[in-house]
């Protein structure tokens, strides 16, 4: 198919490539895909309606770039050919979105409401975290305030804490205590010269409890 240039009075065609001087043929914008640009190019070509119109634009309609600086200075700033009559180039049209005062106010209000909503959510989350931290600190303080004896350890909120220290449940510990000392008398006596003499002030159950802790966890006398 022979290619012809549709621009102005240009008579370039592909039959005589030597006349193009190394130029190329550029396809015309198609009405179906780029209708507005197609109309713009038709207008810039300055040909009569009978010679060039939307109905005559096909895949075989071209412009040549023989003198690209004058005829077709195609860049992002000047994407269209020059006017065939005046030789002037037109800058690319930019799609600028203009907002009236009311639209700006509405958009600003939406943004402010969203920011306010996020601030409220952030405040609620901070309060919830602080509340949980206080509960956790209170629970830890409760555990720290407990005495380290069989009765208090058995009542701890920490699961299986008594078994962790003694390897026995509290019920079995009571059974062992009853089996070893049915009369609830303390047969354990320390010499007066020994440093452990103050242990005599502990009840019998505490003696057994500390002994089991020592066996289970390898604690020493200082512990």
Q: Going by DSSP bridges, is the β-strand pair 61-64/25-27 parallel, antiparallel, or unpaired?
A: antiparallel
Q: How many domains does one find in the chain? A: 3
Asked if residue 141 is part of any domain, the answer here is: no
**What are the pLDDT digits (tens) for 36-78?**
888 888 888 888 888 888 888 888 888 777 644 444 545 556 6
In angstroms, the Cα distances linking 96 to 21, 55, 99, 132 are: 39, 31, 10, 51
171, 183: one domain: yes
Q: How far apart are the first and last CA of the chain?
A: 102
pTM of the complete model beyond 0.75: no
Q: Which residues pair with 173 in a beta bridge?
A: none
* Structural domain of 177: 150-217
Q: What is the DSSP string of 149-209?
A: SHHHHHT-SSTTHHHHHHSS-HHHHHHHHHHH-TT--------TTSGGGGGGGS-HHHHHH
The answer as to whether 143 is a domain residue is no
CB-count burial class (<10 Å; 0-12, 13-18, 19+) for 152:
middle
Residue 138 lies in a domain: no
The dihedral region occupied by 167, where left means phi > 0, alpha psi between -120 and 50, and beta the remainder, is: left
Q: Which residue ranges of the chain lie beneath pLDDT 70? A: 19-22, 66-79, 83-85, 87, 89-104, 135-146, 184-200, 223
Q: With respect to residue 79, please indicate whether it lies within any of the assigned structural domains.
A: yes
- Region class of 185: left (phi > 0), else alpha (psi between -120 and 50), else beta: beta
Q: How far, CA to CA in Å, does 88 sit from each of 41, 44, 60?
A: 13, 9, 26
Q: What is the pLDDT of residue 50?
A: 85
Domain termination site, one of 105, 132, 159: 132
Residue 186 and residue 205 share a domain: yes
């Amino acid at each position: 198919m022979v290619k012809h240039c549709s621009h102005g009075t240009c008579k370039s065609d592909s039959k005589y490539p030597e006349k193009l001087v190394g130029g190329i043929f550029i396809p015309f914008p198609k009405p179906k895909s780029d209708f507005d640009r197609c109309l713009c190019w038709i207008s810039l070509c300055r040909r009569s309606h009978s010679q060039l119109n939307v109905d005559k634009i096909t895949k075989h309609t071209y412009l040549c770039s023989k003198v690209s600086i004058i005829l077709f200075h195609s860049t992002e700033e000047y994407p269209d050919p020059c006017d065939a009559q005046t030789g002037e180039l037109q800058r690319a049209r930019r799609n600028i979105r203009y907002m009236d005062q009311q639209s700006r106010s509405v958009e600003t209000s939406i943004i402010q409401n969203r920011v306010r909503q996020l601030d409220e959510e952030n405040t609620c989350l901070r309060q919830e975290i602080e509340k949980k931290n206080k509960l956790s600190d209170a629970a830890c303080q409760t555990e720290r305030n407990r005495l380290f004896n069989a009765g208090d350890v058995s009542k701890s909120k920490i699961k299986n804490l008594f078994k962790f220290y003694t390897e026995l449940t509290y019920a079995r510990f009571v059974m062992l205590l009853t089996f070893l000392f049915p009369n609830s008398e303390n047969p354990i006596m320390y010499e007066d010269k020994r440093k452990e003499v103050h242990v005599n002030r502990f009840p019998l159950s505490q003696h057994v409890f500390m002994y089991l802790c020592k066996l289970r966890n390898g604690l020493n006398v200082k512990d």
